[in-house]
Amino acid sequence: MPEKGTNDKPGERIAKVIARAGLASRREAEAWIAAGRVAVNGAPIVSPALNVTAADRIAVDGQPLRARERTRLFLYHKPRGLVTTHADPQGRPTIFRALPKRLPRLISVGRLDINTEGLLLLTNDGGLARVLELPATGWLRRYRVRALGRVTQERLDALRAGITVAGVRYGPIEATVDREQGANVWLTVGIREGKNREVRKVLETLRLNVNRLIRVAFGPFELGELDDGKVEEVATEELKAKLGAELAHQAAVDFDAPLINRDARPVSARHSGASRRPEPGIQKNRPRSRLDSGSPLRGSRNDEKQFDGLLGNKKKTSSLRNFKQKSQKRRDRSGGPRPKFPRPL
């Protein structure tokens, strides 16, 4: 298909349309186009500089581009040891292989490196992912950090002016000392850019060696008590409210499109009141915690235990205890098994 003059054609860029269909990010879609995997009206294209409309027939790898579905957002508690990618050349485990199989095809909003855990946003809308991960959006990404070493609050306050590390300029960073634990210190760190390994690299300049890094919030979305490795959908009304009209317009989200069942049951959204039992790996309606309030955990070992509890150290539920009690054989006062018949007097 000739591409001369396609910049003046009404519609949207082809890579943008593919991203909005939830197949890939815009950058990935451009790579697919360059590889000859995309065809428009039956003819392969090799350049993303092409506008298309609803009247055009788009195919990826010979399959018609699926209809766009409602914009959805999921919260995922990423464990350590997983790579934020669909396919890793080194064969390492990825978050997308670990996700429940019945979720739609999702894209991550930014990345967390293999040794970082905590909140990762996932969406089926490539346009929304692109807008949310832009530094210009200005959303604060808040981390809980454990690092080997000591630092004063005065030195952390100096990071508010930004810092240059190895020729890379990092914007203002908010950091506070929460508590000391042996040779380590716990910090709360807030950044707005999210450059590659930003927190680790900046703290290294203060002679702090990060040995645990947990993202606890991304803008208005918080980790709370979402269990390690679990995923939870944000209800559409809540997503609308937290995005706001301006960001929703920039991302060109679609909250009116239908939810398309692609060999899957719909995932129950939190606060929706749905009674369907969630699929294993999908967590519903979680209680809020002190982390959700935005205040750091300070001052006591109980706080540390509480935070560790949020990251997967589960207590046995009363129902499990009751089950075990019922399944155990009754015993007499001597500690032995209770006789089947009463003992003779």
Distance CA 76, CA 22 (A): 18
User: How far apart, in whole angstroms, are the C-alpha atoms of residue 53 and residue 6?
Assistant: 12
Contacting residues for 101 by C-beta, under 8 A, at least 6 apart: none
More confident residue, 67 or 147: 147
Put simply, whether the predicted model's pTM sits higher than 0.75 gets the answer no
Residue 193's contacts (CB-CB under 8 Å, 6 or more residues apart) are 135, 170, 171
pLDDT tens digits, one per residue of 128-157: 998 998 888 889 999 999 999 999 999 999
pLDDT for res 69: 83
pLDDT digits (tens, 9 = 90+) for 289-303: 434 434 343 344 444
> What residues are labeled active site?
113
- The pLDDT assigned to 9 comes to 66
What SS3 state is found at 176?
Answer: strand
Percent of the chain's residues with pLDDT above 90: 47
Of the ranges 25-39, 52-66, 135-149, 282-296, which is most confident? 135-149
Of all residues in the chain, what percent carry a pLDDT higher than 70? Answer: 72
Amino acid identity, residue 63?
Answer: Q
Backbone dihedral angles phi then psi of residue 192, each to the nearest 5 degrees: -120, -5
Maximum CA extent, the chain: 105
Nearest CA-CA partner of 272 in 244, 236, 239: 236
Of 50, 82, 81, 63, which Cα lies nearest the Cα of 21?
Answer: 63
Residue 96 DSSP label: H
CB-CB contact of 192 with 135 (8 Å): yes
Place of tokens 């095809």: 105
Look at residue 59 and tell me whether its pLDDT is greater than 60. Answer: yes
